Chain A
Amino acid sequence: MGELLSLRGVSKSFVRGGRSLPVLEDVSLEVAAGEIVAVEGSRYSGKTTLLRVAAGIVSPDRGEVWFGGHELTGLSNVRRERLLGSEIRWTDREGPGTKLKVRDAIALPLRLGRGRRKTKVIAEEALARVGVADCAGQRWEDLSYYEGVLAGLARGIGGRPRLLVIDDLLDALGLRRTLDVGDLLRSLVGELGCGVLMSVSDLGTALLADRVWSLRRGALTLVSDQAAVTDAEIIDFPDPDAARRGVGSRGVGS
């Protein structure tokens, strides 16, 4: 897997009441094509700021953000906005504007360089792909919680981005829905070949990621890396052939 996104020594502060509040301090992380990376942290820990910096929406005070061989911080605003409308897609819990119909809300940010009819087709295909084609004509504010999550994913994959940035969209789904969405997200990543950077509020949601970082007091620490599997973590997986034969199969390999 090739490196797609790279944050190198990124710091970001905000000024409030004349005081500088550091939010990110010397943060580095990478996302490769085909992998899902989660950043976990409590509310107000700076996750959204980190994602906004990664997506090129906000410039860091220090450090570099590289995407697909380009340094985002060195690009003009116009170039960055173009990237955000095509190769990098942002989706979050807030949704794009409650009065819009779901189809239009997904189609609107795709219009740069595309015709109105074409973007509506893309939006409808994305909604069908995540299993909520029926929601195309509804207003975003009328969606159920779970429909909103799926429509949010559709909003992210419309236009086939190379990097999907998901802010706080997948929290509080419960284990079953988290696993379902994890399967869906993984199949989307497989189809698009994109990388995913997502923020989550708890480690339970991070289950569906390949790599999990924790953001605390402005610093990132690696919690789990699926790529670094040791012998001690090899699981006792059932033999599918034995299962088909109707034989109790677990533990055979021990």
Chain B
Amino acid sequence: MPPSRTSDRPPRTSDLSMRMAVLGLLVEQPDTLGGIAIRLTRRFPYARWSRSAVHNGVPRLVKQKHARLVLEGGKSTQERYEATGRGVDYLREWKRESAAVPRTLRDSLQGKLAFSTPADLPGLIESARAELGDCEQKYADAHKRSRQAAQLSRGVADYDAMILCAQLADEANVWSLHVRRLRDLLDVLEEIGTECPDSFSDREAAGG
């Protein structure tokens, strides 16, 4: 009996799963586990997938018959994996998935704001500042990568080069939005800190 269509349908989520990213890399070209891990870090440097996750994830792709092991030599480091026809179809279906996927907002800072008391304000501000510094650094890295790609692609009119430029520009743009959001939030939090310290004290005294 053939596998049911629904069981092999790509998950509808706004996040890029590690397994889908690995499958994409294997569809591009067969590779070893080490090679996949390196390419994954280069292509999605901020996704923070661990090397061990790659080592666990690839066998799961094999189990789902989206990839297969191609033995080359006796050493495990030389073992290469490649995408199966089913894996290629699975990736294609995921890319064509047009149904809108609602974005989630499960941001820890949002939770900290929701449950904060006046005494938490200094910590909240510190937390937002630290996150801002981190996002600014990531923007700087993405900006450099984006500029590099733009320089390298000058005069190269092919799809791969152009889509890479688009991906990197989008990446920098995403970090710039995070930076803007955190700066705006910090402005508001700092204003609350300077304008309302007395009311905070009153609320605390009243048990509010």
Does the CB pair A233–B145 fall under 8 Å?
yes
Does the CB pair A238–B160 fall under 8 Å?
yes
For residue B36, give the distance in angstroms from its CB to the closest CB of chain A: 9
For residue A63, give the distance in angstroms from its CB to the closest CB of chain B: 26
A248 in the interface (beta carbon within 8 A)? yes
B residues 144-182 near A (Cβ < 8 Å) are 144-150, 152-153, 156, 158-161, 164-165, 168-170, 172-173, 175-177, 179-180
- Choose one: B156, B161, B179; the contact of A203 (CB below 8 Å): B179
A residues 217-254 near B (Cβ < 8 Å) are 223-226, 228-229, 232-238, 240, 243-244, 248-252, 254
> When A175-B170, A223-B140, A243-B159 are in contact, do A238 and B164 touch as well, CB less than 8 Å?
yes
Instruction: Tell me, in angstroms, the Cα distance from A251 to B149 when the chains sit together.
Output: 14
Does the CB pair A204–B177 fall under 8 Å?
yes
For residue A212, give the distance in angstroms from its CB to the closest CB of chain B: 7
- What string of 1s and 0s marks CB contacts (under 8 Å) between A95-125 and chain B? 0000000000000000000000000000000
Does the CB pair B172–A42 fall under 8 Å?
no
Does the CB pair B144–A226 fall under 8 Å?
yes
> What residues of chain A lie closer than 8 Å to B29, measured between beta carbons?
248, 251-252
- Choose one: A182, A228, A251; the contact of B28 (CB below 8 Å): A251
> What residues of chain B lie closer than 8 Å to A212, measured between beta carbons?
140, 143
> What residues of chain A lie closer than 8 Å to B146, measured between beta carbons?
207
Instruction: Tell me, in angstroms, the Cα distance from A244 to B176 when the chains sit together.
Output: 34
Q: Among B35, B148, B149, B176, find the residue whose CB has the most chain A CB atoms closer than 10 A.
A: B176
With both beta carbons as reference points, the residue of chain B lying nearest to A201 in the complex is identified as B180
Q: Among A202, A228, A244, find the residue whose CB has the most chain B CB atoms closer than 10 A.
A: A202
Does the CB pair A182–B180 fall under 8 Å?
no
Number of B positions contacting A (CB below 8 A): 41
> When A202-B180, A238-B158, A251-B25 are in contact, do A226 and B42 touch as well, CB less than 8 Å?
no
A206 in the interface (beta carbon within 8 A)? yes
A87 in the interface (beta carbon within 8 A)? no
A210 in the interface (beta carbon within 8 A)? yes
Does the CB pair A235–B149 fall under 8 Å?
yes
Instruction: Tell me, in angstroms, the Cα distance from A207 to B165 when the chains sit together.
Output: 12
For residue A90, give the distance in angstroms from its CB to the closest CB of chain B: 25
> What residues of chain B lie closer than 8 Å to A225, measured between beta carbons?
140, 144
Does the CB pair B161–A243 fall under 8 Å?
yes
Instruction: Tell me, in angstroms, the Cα distance from A224 to B145 when the chains sit together.
Output: 11
With both beta carbons as reference points, the residue of chain B lying nearest to A227 in the complex is identified as B144
Instruction: Tell me, in angstroms, the Cα distance from A172 to B170 when the chains sit together.
Output: 15
- Choose one: B38, B140, B141, B168; the contact of A254 (CB below 8 Å): B38
Does the CB pair B158–A240 fall under 8 Å?
yes
B residues 125-150 near A (Cβ < 8 Å) are 136, 139-141, 143-150
B183 in the interface (beta carbon within 8 A)? yes
- What string of 1s and 0s marks CB contacts (under 8 Å) between B166-208 and chain A? 0011101101110110010000000000000000000000000
B55 in the interface (beta carbon within 8 A)? no
For residue A223, give the distance in angstroms from its CB to the closest CB of chain B: 6
> What residues of chain B lie closer than 8 Å to A58, measured between beta carbons?
none
> When A235-B164, A243-B159, A254-B35 are in contact, do A207 and B148 touch as well, CB less than 8 Å?
no
With both beta carbons as reference points, the residue of chain A lying nearest to B173 in the complex is identified as A204
With both beta carbons as reference points, the residue of chain A lying nearest to B139 in the complex is identified as A203
B residues 24-67 near A (Cβ < 8 Å) are 25, 28-29, 31, 35, 38-39, 42-43
Does the CB pair B139–A223 fall under 8 Å?
yes
Does the CB pair B140–A229 fall under 8 Å?
no
- What string of 1s and 0s marks CB contacts (under 8 Å) between A10-43 and chain B? 0000000000000000000000000000000010
Instruction: Tell me, in angstroms, the Cα distance from A251 to B31 when the chains sit together.
Output: 10
A75 in the interface (beta carbon within 8 A)? no
Instruction: Tell me, in angstroms, the Cα distance from A87 to B179 when the chains sit together.
Output: 35
For residue B167, give the distance in angstroms from its CB to the closest CB of chain A: 10
Does the CB pair A175–B164 fall under 8 Å?
no
For residue B32, give the distance in angstroms from its CB to the closest CB of chain A: 11
Report the 7 A-B pairs with minimum CB-CB distance, sorted nearest first: A203-B176, A238-B160, A224-B140, A243-B158, A236-B42, A254-B39, A224-B143
8 additional A-B pairs beyond A203-B172, A254-B42, beta carbons within 8 Å, are A183-B150, A206-B143, A207-B173, A223-B139, A235-B152, A238-B158, A243-B161, A251-B25
